[in-house]
Structure 1
């Protein structure tokens, strides 16, 4: 499980398997990893992002450019006036005249204005990739977000529980929470939290075997419980019933995932894991 939030904005750690790409500056939160380095230093995505942010700091607003233009236009007239007046007013007065142009103030204040706004938004966790956004912000009435992590909390939540035939929702949730309660990743914690919310007791697990990036297999008396992704079920030779397969396709379209729950090699249900929308949204 790889935490890519600092780079991609996604709150839920990404499952990675053999052959998958990983990014520099991301964090392994569960399991072990061996990587083949293909890009280093300036070639990495995080380095390119840094270059973009550096360019943002050098961005000049339209007001700054106008201030510089005005300063350049009055520079020679002011210099000539200062030289002519120096014999009559003295060096100090002539020098003061050179710095009396209001365009100098505009040039300085607009630079501070831009830097101040970049500092304020960075403290709120917002990175400005293009300085033009600062100028256009007052004209914007619609914002498009390309990542769910921007509008959602770090912790996901349980949505609907899809059941097949034999077991009910609470039974599916109890099996899943019992299998996952010792794990620390956000999806496992969301399932356990939902079980506690329904005041459901957990079962005593005798043995557990966790497959990184797939799921967990636990033993309970004469029963074997498997909890994990559809990829995990496929690996374990467990077929998805039509009802679960349809829910999986729908989840992919709507942006949520399913945690499958199997009992003795038979898929009994699935738990929807949805992002939690921030209250201020």
Structure 2
């Protein structure tokens, strides 16, 4: 019997983006661009590639720019047409009527609470969750890889990515069972284990496919780490009750919730572009060369 398809995806986008102030004082952090595309658009395109039909944004105050981005822009489109310019760069942004759905998370009570806010739209269907701060670059995209794995094993899946052992205390970590290719059985989920105690080096990089029963658990509003409703705590309660696997990502992750990671993502994606890659590469080479010359002068002094 085939598993229910993954038709809906939740994007928790109510955060204030305090790590990127002052840039995010009046602009949603999800609208920060990597080269020429906002982070939220990369995540939405990843979901659409995976066959997602309904986009669900869980938002907060000050997110109007995000909503406008996925709306029709009559003036802009008319101006481009009259000037004979292509609309290709914005055609994929337009969503069909009824999607996206926007839901307010009135209180910042954690990722689990944000996901729970979408319970009425999700209903009794399995669903995906994507965190736009995590820019996942691969072919096919990460969510498409996870949907393909879901078609094989069903149940609940989380993204998995190997990190250095010295970094496991920064993330939610998978306690692994049986492994088969990119699939790893999940026996437990450990949130930020103390250094040297992690059961593996597989972290969870902000991609999930979950069964609707998780909403009942989140509905208990049980507080976890930081006094917030933690998605990890609810997922952990499903382990042993439903199939639960990690899917190792075949691609590259950029942590764009971190300033250095965001700058690195801009550089990496710019270098891969046919239109600007050569110019950026030449600039980077000149910059590195100038730094090397300064180092030589400093050592000689």
Q: Which has the higher strand share?
A: 2
- TM-score computed with the length of structure 1 as normaliser: 0.25
Higher relative contact order (CA 8 A, sep 6+): 2
Which protein is bigger by CA-based radius of gyration?
1
Q: Which has the higher helix share?
A: 1
- TM-score computed with the length of structure 2 as normaliser: 0.24
